[in-house]
């Protein structure tokens, strides 16, 4: 019963580098999400997917790209990291918007 698994847990990038955050869920959820969490700003939606092969922009999509090639996986990419992308990133999944979300344990990303 792994739930939602995020890798890596920690990462330090230099400005301009790229990386991919991986998210995997084993609950057969259709919907998957990427959030960022910054102090005092709660959870802000970056991108989301309502099913395999679909993606959509959330509240703060600039500088990020996503892919959902398989139902169980949702990848978040940073093409050219900036210090403003220093944050804790959470992946989540659910049966739909009006159902409880299951969150991963987060990835702490620092861009220097």
Partner 1 sequence: GENVEQHPSTLSVQEGDSAVIKCTYSDSASNYFPWYKQELGKGPQLIIDIRSNVGEKKDQRIAVTLNKTAKHFSLHITETQPEDSAVYFCAAVLGTGTASKLTFGTGTRLQVTL
Per rule CB under 8 A, is residue 1 in the interface with partner 1? no
The C-alpha atoms of residue 78 and residue 64 are separated, in whole angstroms, by 5
Candidate ranges 14-22, 37-45, 68-76, 79-87; the one touching partner 1 (CB under 8 A): 37-45
Q: How far is the CB of 52 from partner 1 (least distance, A)?
A: 17
Question: What DSSP assignment string belongs to the chain?
Answer: ---EEEE-SEEEE-TT--EEEEEEE-S--SEEEEEEE-TTS-EEEEEEESSTT--EE-SS-TTEEEE-SSTTEEEEEESS--GGG-EEEEEEEESSTTS--EE---EEEEE-
In the bound state with partner 1, the residue whose beta carbon lies nearer, of 18 and 110, is 110
Q: Does 23 bind partner 1 (CB under 8 A)?
A: no
Q: Is 100 in the site for partner 1 (CB under 8 A)?
A: yes
- List binders of partner 1 among 57-96 (CB under 8 A): 58-59, 90, 92
Q: Site residues (CB under 8 A) for partner 1?
A: 4, 40-45, 48, 58-59, 90, 92, 97-98, 100-106
């Amino acid at each position: 019963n792994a739930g939602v698994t995020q890798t890596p847990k920690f990462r330090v990038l230099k400005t301009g580098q790229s990386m991919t955050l991986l998210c995997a869920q084993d609950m057969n959820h259709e919907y998957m999400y990427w959030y960022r969490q910054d102090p005092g700003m709660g959870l802000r939606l970056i991108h989301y997917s309502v099913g395999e092969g679909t993606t959509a922009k959330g509240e703060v999509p600039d500088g990020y790209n996503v892919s959902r090639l398989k139902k169980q996986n949702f990848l978040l990419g940073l093409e050219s990291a900036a210090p403003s992308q220093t944050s804790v990133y959470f992946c989540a999944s659910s049966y739909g918007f009006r159902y409880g979300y299951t969150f991963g344990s987060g990835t702490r990303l620092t861009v220097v």
